[in-house]
Amino acid sequence: MSTTIIEPAAPAGTRRLLLSVPELSSHAGHFGPIPVISDGAAVLDAVTAAGLLGRGGAGFPAARKLAAVAAGRRAVVVANGAEGEPASSKDAVLLARAPHLVLDGLGIAADVVGARECHFYAPAAALDGIRRALDERRACGYDRRSVRLTASPESFLSGEKTAVINRIAGLPAVPGDQLVSTSQSGLRGRPTLVHNVETLAHLALITRYGPRWFRTAGTPDEPGTMLVTLSGTAATGVVEVPLGIPLLDLLTRHGRTDPRTVRAILVGGYHGTWIPAAALHRAALSTAALRPLHATPGAGVIRVLPRTECGLHASADILTYLAAQSARRCGPCRHGLPTLATTFTPLAHGHPADPREIARLATLVDGRGACAHPDATARLIRSTLDVFAHDVTRHLHGHCEVTDTTPGARS
Ligand code: SF4
């Protein structure tokens, strides 16, 4: 994925605080000293008033997570920078450009929940920068907090909350059973707060500037800005935009792409949903605006499928990848997803296939795993069959709109 930063195209509603300053001297000059938290409840109130939603994909209210962990004893906090999603690079960019903002947020979260044990979990390449940033902070006395670093493996599910806790505990980074919330019993049975690194950066900003400032961007229900990874556009990379931005604006102003060249966009990454080009005019980057299209912003991944590419081919590639990414612990991942992939792929290549059987298999895996991997994969396939229904019909008759040839000849 591109780790380029796209400069916001217009000042209205945009700000670039998240990706602003990598060095500690400029960070401290820009943001001042790390806030001293003498009243964790006041910070919780501020985060509640700000309405910060987690930026790791699930969009859970950050204040509720903080409060749940703060209610326990001997809490642990984890900054989660594992970015298993192949179409996302916003966490990598954030950690490279603003490591101190994330570390500020980690320290603030630890103070709010009363945690003495802090962890940073991210790919090894990103941890090199975090290690340097921690050394810098200690050397000048900016922050002497000790943070334990754990490298996340390169796998799609390595950033799932229970996979994160498993890896830090020395186990494979695969999702575990969630009979009890990790807010109550996570790492070594202790209340554990796992926050995405972007969520922590927002927490650092809210603590400094307050909830009213945070709410100057975004929508009343989904305030603030969000880092978005754009791909398939003329300008690819990461951009900080206000939540609620119309997707057409995102594509044209920031992605510098003519919407007439777009076949569809995948919102939310590989676990996301296709939106056809014809629906773009009524879509915006918010849960509320995307709900009628059965999509969510997820972790801010927007992949554009140009008119020159086939949606069934793109989906088959993603499905094959996802089917290979499970820990194969649960039935839907051991049997269901591989069968779904081998049943769907012939359709993408113009070979005989049964779309009703594909839909049936997607229903069978739904809700049957220990984590949401099968459900989200099934959602992607349902969205594919829906948005590219016209292409399904053409493929079944041996044609593909993109090549206007017999697609079977290409495979
Ligand atoms: S549903 Fe799949 S990915 Fe999730 S825990 Fe079970 S085997 Fe692993």
Query: Mind listing the pLDDT tens digit for each residue in 148-186?
Result: 999 999 999 999 999 999 999 999 998 887 778 899 999
In-domain check, residue 341 = yes
Q: Let me know whether 363 and 236 are in one domain.
A: no
In-domain check, residue 118 = yes
Q: What's the gap in Å between 337 CA and the centre of ligand 1?
A: 10
Q: Let me know whether 46 and 175 are in one domain.
A: yes
pLDDT at residue 82 tops 90: yes
Mean predicted confidence (pLDDT) in 185-197: 95
Higher pLDDT, 176 or 389: 389
Q: Let me know whether 48 and 88 are in one domain.
A: yes
Domain that holds residue 60: 24-214
In-domain check, residue 10 = no
- Indicate the residue among 183, 214, 245 that finishes a domain: 214
Q: Let me know whether 295 and 378 are in one domain.
A: no
Mean predicted confidence (pLDDT) in 204-214: 92
DSSP structure class, residue 246: B
Identify whether the C-beta of residue 329 lies closer than 8 Å to the C-beta of residue 322.
no
Whose CA is closest to atom 4 on ligand 1?
371
Residue 326's SS3 state is coil
CB-defined site of ligand 1, < 6 Å: 157, 174-175, 326-330, 332-333, 369-371, 373-374
Identify whether the C-beta of residue 382 lies closer than 8 Å to the C-beta of residue 362.
yes
* Atom of ligand 1 lying closest to residue 175 CA: 5
Residue to substitute in 326, 364, 377, 379 for testing ligand 1 pocket (most ligand atoms within 8 angstroms of CB): 326
The string of pLDDT tens digits covering residues 24-60 is 888 888 888 888 888 889 999 999 999 999 999 888 9
Q: Give the residue among 362, 411, 408, 352 at the shortest CA–CA distance from 385.
A: 362
Whose CA is closest to atom 8 on ligand 1?
327
pLDDT at residue 88 tops 50: yes
Q: What's the gap in Å between 309 CA and the centre of ligand 1?
A: 31
Residue to substitute in 371, 375, 377 for testing ligand 1 pocket (most ligand atoms within 8 angstroms of CB): 371
Q: Let me know whether 142 and 266 are in one domain.
A: no
Q: Let me know whether 295 and 315 are in one domain.
A: no
Mean predicted confidence (pLDDT) in 209-237: 92
Q: Let me know whether 125 and 236 are in one domain.
A: no
Mean predicted confidence (pLDDT) in 191-219: 94
Question: Which domain CATH number covers 382?
Answer: 1.20.1440.230
State residue 40's pLDDT score: 87
In-domain check, residue 32 = yes
State residue 18's pLDDT score: 67
Identify whether the C-beta of residue 355 lies closer than 8 Å to the C-beta of residue 385.
yes
Q: What's the gap in Å between 373 CA and the centre of ligand 1?
A: 6
State residue 55's pLDDT score: 95
Q: Let me know whether 83 and 207 are in one domain.
A: yes
Instruction: Give me the chain's average pLDDT, please.
Output: 89
- Ranking 41-50, 89-98, 137-146, 326-335 by mean pLDDT, the lowest is 326-335
Q: Which two tokens stand for residue 187?
A: 């790492």
Higher pLDDT, 411 or 229: 229
Residue 6's pLDDT band (boundaries 50, 70, 90)? low
In-domain check, residue 66 = yes
State residue 177's pLDDT score: 74
Q: Which two tokens stand for residue 105?
A: 């947020």
In-domain check, residue 1 = no
Q: What's the gap in Å between 178 CA and the centre of ligand 1?
A: 12
Long-range CB contacts (within 8 A, 24+) of 356-365: 358/385, 359/385, 361/336, 364/332, 364/336, 365/332, 365/336, 365/337, 365/340
In-domain check, residue 15 = no
pLDDT at residue 15 tops 60: no
Q: What's the gap in Å between 54 CA and the centre of ligand 1?
A: 22
In-domain check, residue 151 = yes
Question: Which domain CATH number covers 242?
Answer: 3.10.20.600
The string of pLDDT tens digits covering residues 305-364 is 999 999 999 999 999 999 998 777 788 888 889 999 999 999 988 887 888 989 999 898
Residue to substitute in 164, 174, 322 for testing ligand 1 pocket (most ligand atoms within 8 angstroms of CB): 174
Q: What's the gap in Å between 130 CA and the centre of ligand 1?
A: 30
The string of pLDDT tens digits covering residues 249-260 is 999 998 889 999
pLDDT at residue 77 tops 70: yes
State residue 410's pLDDT score: 45
Residue 4's pLDDT band (boundaries 50, 70, 90)? low
Residue 224's pLDDT band (boundaries 50, 70, 90)? very high
Q: Let me know whether 239 and 384 are in one domain.
A: no
Q: Let me know whether 136 and 276 are in one domain.
A: no
Q: Let me know whether 48 and 127 are in one domain.
A: yes
Q: What's the gap in Å between 164 CA and the centre of ligand 1?
A: 14
State residue 327's pLDDT score: 74
State residue 5's pLDDT score: 60
Domain count, the chain: 3
Residue 2's pLDDT band (boundaries 50, 70, 90)? low
